[in-house]
Amino acid sequence: MGAKLPRLGPPGNRGPPGAVGSRTVTRSTDAAARDAAVLWHPYSRRSGAVPPREVVGAQGCRLHLADGSTPLDAMSSWWCMVHGYRHPRLDAAVHAQVDRFSHVMFGGLTHAPAVELAERLVAMTPEPLRHVFLADSGSVSVEVALKICAQVQLGRGRTGRHRMLTVAGGYHGDTLAPMGVCDPDNGMHAMFRGVLTEHVFAPRPPIWAPTSLAAGAGWGTQAASPSADAALASWAAETRRIAAEHAHELAGIVVEPVLQGAGGMRAYDPRALHVLREIADEHGLVLVLDEIATAFGRTGTLFGADHAAGVDPEGRPVVPDVLCVGKALTGGYLSLAAVVATDEVAAAVDATGALMHGPTFMGNPLACAAANASLDLLAEGEWRTQVPCIEAGLQQHLAPALDLPTVRDVRVLGAVGVLETTAPVDLPALTEAALRRGVWVRPFGTLVYTMPPYVATPEEVATIATGLVEAVSETVTEAGPR
């Protein structure tokens, strides 16, 4: 039996004096059933949506579902729960901050958790990054970064520079400005063409062959092949041509460093970052690196851009003018992101008057406390052994998928594993097949992937990878061209 709950509504729906509302909704004891009546989920329709599964708890790498099952979370809750669920130090940090104060406006006020977080981000990012803007989420941080690019050009007296140069296959978030720099054809925002600002797109950089098991390389071989050199040179020439053609209207360059996430789960040659840095310097553009998904160890280095130094004969790093971080920043506990900029960028923005952005929940103390605890754990360095261990396990246990006629490629980089199928997957069927094997996964398109929490044991990684291979084998039956 369900209980009738009063429903708040506009004045026209009010009941008699003293009543909360005249409309009621029936409350079932089943949250999933109630969900279907009132909630819109990410990337879903209101009618005919697949019912969600109710989570009643979580611990370590496991979700505790209402049906009593405890699947391994292969997604780290969309890539952010790097320390796992209910980590005692993160729990303690948030509880301690609740006992002080949970929120305060950031306009004209400050607090120790935010100051400490900014100091730590400046200390761990490369010179000359040293000015921190705290944002609500990864997408909002990219919004801020794009505003910064435009304001920098205005501050330098360069009018008419408001477009961005980016590459095909990218993904930078679902708010309006970041949508404009996502892949315009194969991304998730094609229906908004005409609404979004039209930016300038260069080709997708060539794939980083060592990350593709189908290429027979596997992670660890850093020497560039002649074919890789030729592919990079061709891409660089075309990208330089496009940049030169549009330089008069460009404010900056924005890319995900090395690993393109929701735009294709694909790693590209890190040497491309050196090319983009050179183009930015040549044309006076602001280079923005969107490290929302890649920062804090996910690809095997502290930042995704660190791979650029690893493949450079002289070990030269690629340092952006603006850096965006999020997701793992708080260990997944609360939504928070940060934008870190150089002195030169800050001075140019100041020349326009002020950085024109100010979210209500900017610098939320609870989120900052969680972030500081998360950075404590990262600073202890255990991820430096955890991520290579996950990488090795993913390589070993995903490799059998190459024998499936429905799998085009298997890719592994750090704690990221991807099965690319020859035809789009049946999301409900594959999800159910994976759950029967004790794994929660959320594929999209032709990509079945995992980003496990760093605390996943070798046995848990094996369960995840094997579960994905078996789920693909069971549910993806339409073999397309490989």
66 and 99 together in one domain: no
As a whole number, mean pLDDT of residues 26-55 equals 84
Please give the pLDDT value at position 223: 39
Residue 372 lies in a domain: yes
pLDDT over 80 at 187, yes or no: no
User: Which residues are known binding-site members for substrate?
Assistant: 78, 171, 327, 358, 442
As a whole number, mean pLDDT of residues 227-241 equals 96
Please give the pLDDT value at position 27: 53
* 89-118 per-position pLDDT tens digit: 999 999 999 999 999 999 999 999 999 999
171 is catalytic: yes
How many domains does the chain contain in total?
A: 2
Looking at 327, 333, 409, 454, which residue is catalytic? 327
* CATH label of the domain that carries residue 123: 3.40.640.10
Looking at 73, 136, 183, 290, which residue is catalytic? 290
**pLDDT bucket at 222, cuts 50 / 70 / 90:** very low
Please give the pLDDT value at position 85: 99
Please give the pLDDT value at position 224: 52
Please give the pLDDT value at position 220: 35
Residue 191 lies in a domain: yes
Q: pLDDT higher for 17 or 126?
A: 126
User: Which residues are known binding-site members for pyridoxal 5'-phosphate?
Assistant: 138-139, 290, 359-360
456 and 330 together in one domain: no
**pLDDT bucket at 349, cuts 50 / 70 / 90:** very high
58 and 183 together in one domain: no
Please give the pLDDT value at position 299: 98
As a whole number, mean pLDDT of residues 218-239 equals 75
Residue 26 lies in a domain: no
Please give the pLDDT value at position 211: 93
Residue 137 lies in a domain: yes
Please give the pLDDT value at position 186: 74
**pLDDT bucket at 29, cuts 50 / 70 / 90:** low
54 and 129 together in one domain: no
Give backbone dihedrals phi and psi of 347, rounded to 5 degrees, phi first: -65, -40
* CATH label of the domain that carries residue 455: 3.90.1150.10
Residue 41 lies in a domain: no
Please give the pLDDT value at position 462: 99
164 and 192 together in one domain: yes
pLDDT over 90 at 51, yes or no: no
43 is catalytic: yes
**pLDDT bucket at 46, cuts 50 / 70 / 90:** confident
pLDDT over 50 at 71, yes or no: yes
Which of 380, 404, 434 is the C-terminal boundary of a domain? 380
Residue 62 lies in a domain: yes
278 and 369 together in one domain: yes
Residue 29 lies in a domain: no
242 and 129 together in one domain: yes
Domain span at 456: 47-76+412-475
> Which long-range contacts link 396-404 to residues 24+ away (Cβ below 8 Å)?
396/462, 396/465, 397/461, 397/462, 397/465, 397/466, 397/469, 398/213, 398/465, 398/468, 398/469, 399/213, 400/469, 401/468, 401/469, 401/472, 401/473, 402/213, 402/214, 404/469, 404/472, 404/473, 404/476
Q: Which of 110-114, 147-151, 153-157, 182-186 has the lowest mean pLDDT?
A: 182-186
CB atoms near residue 131 (< 10 Å): 19
pLDDT above 70 covers a percentage of the chain that reads 91
333 is catalytic: no
53 and 181 together in one domain: no
Please give the pLDDT value at position 15: 44
Q: pLDDT higher for 29 or 373?
A: 373
147 is catalytic: no
pLDDT over 90 at 135, yes or no: yes
290 and 185 together in one domain: yes
Please give the pLDDT value at position 28: 54
Please give the pLDDT value at position 225: 64
Please give the pLDDT value at position 193: 83
303 and 442 together in one domain: no
112 and 61 together in one domain: no
User: Which residues are known binding-site members?
Assistant: 78, 138-139, 171, 290, 327, 358-360, 442
pLDDT over 80 at 207, yes or no: yes
* 407-463 per-position pLDDT tens digit: 999 999 999 999 999 999 999 999 999 999 999 999 999 999 999 999 999 999 999
**pLDDT bucket at 279, cuts 50 / 70 / 90:** very high
126 and 178 together in one domain: yes
Looking at 73, 85, 171, 333, which residue is catalytic? 171
Which of 363, 380, 397 is the C-terminal boundary of a domain? 380
Q: What does the alpha-carbon distance between residue 338 and residue 133 come to, in Å, rounded to a whole number?
A: 6
Residue 123 lies in a domain: yes
Q: Which of 5-14, 200-209, 323-332 has the lowest mean pLDDT?
A: 5-14
